[in-house]
Amino acid sequence: MSKTVNMHEAKTQLSRLVQALHDGREREFVIAVAGKPHARLVPFEPRKRASGMDAGLVVIAENFDDPDREIEKLFDEGPIFPDKA
């Protein structure tokens, strides 16, 4: 069950509240303003990523590294100071 703390207590006792979450003594705190819940303070849980979990989502074309003739032409023959559009 969540323990409710008021905003003033949360501000003055933040280190103690975070340590209680870290140690597992509390699962979460609800921070209230004028008795009404406004926020939850919960322990940080890092996301676990597995190697290769995005496999198949990105496809790189076989010609990815091929030269782009249009860009080469602009470098070789294009104006040094192109007209502003």
Q: Is the residue at 37 inside a domain? A: yes
The CB-side HSE value for 54 (13 A sphere, CA atoms) comes to: 4
Flag whether 73 is in a domain: no
Q: How confident is the model at residue 31 (pLDDT cuts 50, 70, 90)?
A: very high
Residue 34 lies in a domain: yes
Give the pairing of strands 3-6 and 36-41: unpaired
Q: The domain containing residue 13 runs over which residues?
A: 3-41
pTM (predicted TM-score):
0.56
| Predicted confidence (pLDDT) per residue in 55-75, tens digit | 888 888 999 999 999 999 988
Task: Assess if residue 25 is contained within a domain.
Answer: yes
The tens digit of pLDDT for each residue in 39-54 reads 999 999 988 888 888 8
